[in-house]
Structure 1
Amino acid sequence: MNKTPYEAQQFANVLVSALVGFNSFDIYIAPTFTALDRVREIISSSNIKLAAQNMYYEDSGAFTGEISPKMLKELNVSAVIIGHSERRKIFGESDELINKKIKKAISEGLTPIFCIGETLEERQKGLTFCVLEKQVREGLYGISKEDVSKVIIAYEPVWAIGTGVVATPQQAQEAHEFVRKLLAQMYDEQTAQQITILYGGSVTPENWFGLFVKKDIDGALVGGASLKESFIELAKIMSRVII
């Protein structure tokens, strides 16, 4: 919940100018709902894609305050963040609800950015892998091998979001590797390798290189650093690594 429509429009202009020619990887920005239309106009002729921060799983109806996938598609939104830890914690979103949203996003041609991650208490109790397995299995329940390849997974340790504390490259890699192996069990090895797994949690230009070079970390779900020009520095680091 950052940036007014005007502020988002101004920042989108900065990003479009700075990120020209960055075509070796996908760049999505996910402004708040009220800024989607203005940002869409700014990035329409650029290499930047538009994402939304959430959606509901129905087309329309008595769901006051919710946004449908059809509304997003009319604004040329191509991806949507689903199951972010703040949605889970503050708004009580369950794995079952998240599963419905993922299925609906896929059916509407939107790319789900499916967030998973453990709390500090869960990590300290040694429950990280148990939590991740439950979230992945229930979030992807009933989704076919063909459709799961359309999902982007974002591992975001809750204890590292907005805290300034970042998972070490080894901690992040262990979680990503676990998720990749779990996907291979649920589907197959080829499918697991095709799925993009992002890391999210206090990513900055100072720590990003050490994370991104890890085998199973394919990109980042950027929080605070996406609100300022640090986002451009992250893209520059990725462009130097990807050949």
Structure 2
Amino acid sequence: MSLKYKRILLKLSGEALMGNSDFGIDPSFIKYLAKEIKDVYEEGVEIAIVIGGGNIFRGNQGAKLGLDRATADYMGMLATVMNALALQDALEKEDMPTRVMSAIEMRQIAEPYIRRRAIRHLEKARIVIFAAGTGSPFFTTDTTGALRAAEIKADVLLKATKVDGIYDKDPSKYSDAKKLDEISYLDAINKNLKVMDHTALTLCMENKLPIIVFNIKQKGSLKDIVYGKKIGSVVK
């Protein structure tokens, strides 16, 4: 059985790292996540990761509390660096060489983001974690995921969530919510389905980059996806 996707961009929300906790990082969940990634890594897949910071601090929440929006966004970017370092530690404990590349320069703890260097790391079978968003305020980590995926020429953008795909309305609120196995970029934008923000969706559409939304808590789902099994929902 051959791989369908050789180079992937895995988009993880900060909230995913909370596991069953209310805040911060759940050590047991991040260990589970590392093992799921290892199963894919051992198949020879080149893996890049963009991670959010919502388990620690969200820029838009800070803005609602009265902080300057740009300042709040920079604080959120720093939260993503903390998550990236935690994930790097978990991955390296599973014997996977990993590099954290930050869009905000902080040489003592991360490499500066350089596109060609990132691609070279992937070619050398190193996992690359992109931290600090795009390095600019007013952009989400969804947009970062789409941008980095396009830059490194990823085959697919995998958005890891707590639900098993895209629904026509919130399944936690509506019992009659219908799962959409496949949807176009324009439909996702026009119907405001909250798959990703509109900037991210537009970037993916312009670069013909498919998005797969899936439940990361479903064991083995990541490996199934890279081999082409129909998991979650596809935006293309």
Q: Tell me if TM exceeds 0.5.
A: no
* Larger relative contact order (CA 8 Å, sep ≥ 6): 2
TM-score by length of 2: 0.34
Higher percent of residues as helix: 1
